[in-house]
Amino acid sequence: MEQNEYGARPTTVPSPALHVPTVVDVLGAIEELWPAKLAEAWDAVGLVAGRSGTSVEKILFAVDPTGAVLDEALDWGATMIVSHHPLLLKPVTTVAASGFKGDVVHRLIEAGCALVTVHTNGDSAVGGVSDVLADALGLQDTEPLAPAADGLPEEGIGRVGDLPAAVPLGSFAEAVFSILPAVAGGVRVAGDKDALVRRIAVCGGAGDSLFDRVRSSRADVYVTADLRHHPASEVREAAGDGPPYLIDVSHFGSEWLWLTPAADALGAVLTDRGFTTDIRVSGVNTDPWDFVLTPGH
């Protein structure tokens, strides 16, 4: 190494060594990104299985904690799964391995793999599920459809914003279709395909509980999943031939978009805290439908 102008050799400051986090370390990073207080009152988020002091060398992100996802995680050697959907949302009286959920719990414990749920707190937080969906569609000046009761002004369920310019509903539906993973159900649309739309409301996952919010937001079209017949029919009857138009997408697909940004965000926070771990997104399609029949096909 050459001397500097003062005749002294410059000192190289070594980068601090990164350490493998424990379960509790990862939970702290998750809380920073997706605070548990943002979860809906009915939800079940946080640590489902795992010891707080266990080292977490590998983390797998997934929409659903299915058996196939667990197979993938354990084959890779994952020591934590971060799942969007809860395994144990409703109360249970047994986790006997004779049932699917009990079997998953047993396999997690036997393999020393933790399971963490980030559900409606991941929906509501900045950079959450609906933010990712809105960004993918190019929406501007977004705000929550249902602001969080205990959060920042930009936190809450769903998002509503504007396209840079009005486009025909049919063209916008094609754009929605293009950003989602290929699933059997495709995309369903209610409305005149030639009608111009610009103000867009979105909600990743099931969103027909937000129809009143959609109306008050003056959205031209609402993109969400799991639209039931009667609520959707009533919205369209009340609107006549006008907005809000509806675009019904795959529940899995609407939330799958969030996985990669979420994995990247968690990795960045852990690195900032001095930790290193391998994080990847599941390659398993957990949409429950295998094929669909349509007229002429």
pLDDT in tens, 128-151: 999 999 999 999 999 999 999 988
CA nearest 160: which of 122, 206, 210? Answer: 210
Domain 23-122+258-278: give its CATH superfamily. NIF3 (NGG1p interacting factor 3)-like (3.40.1390.30)
For the stretch 40-65, pLDDT in tens is 999 999 999 999 999 999 999 999 99
Confidence at residue 14, expressed as pLDDT on a 0 to 100 scale = 52
* pLDDT number for residue 17: 75
Joined together, the tokens standing for residue 269 give: 């926070």
Question: Regarding the domain with residue range 129-251, which homologous superfamily does it belong to in the CATH classification?
Answer: NIF3 (NGG1p interacting factor 3)-like (3.40.1390.30)
For residue 253, the model assigns a pLDDT of 95
Domain ranges of the chain: 23-122+258-278, 129-251
pLDDT surpasses 80 at 21:
yes
Greater model confidence, 86 or 294: 86
Query: Is 26's pLDDT higher than 50?
Result: yes
Write the pLDDT tens digit of every residue in 171-220: 999 999 999 998 998 999 999 999 999 999 999 999 999 999 999 999 99
176-188: pLDDT as tens digits:
999 999 899 899 9
pLDDT (tens digit per residue) in 265-291? 999 999 999 999 999 999 999 999 999
Q: Is the pLDDT of residue 15 over 70?
A: no
Report yes or no: 222 and 201 within 8 Å, Cβ to Cβ: yes
What is the residue-averaged pLDDT of the chain? Answer: 93
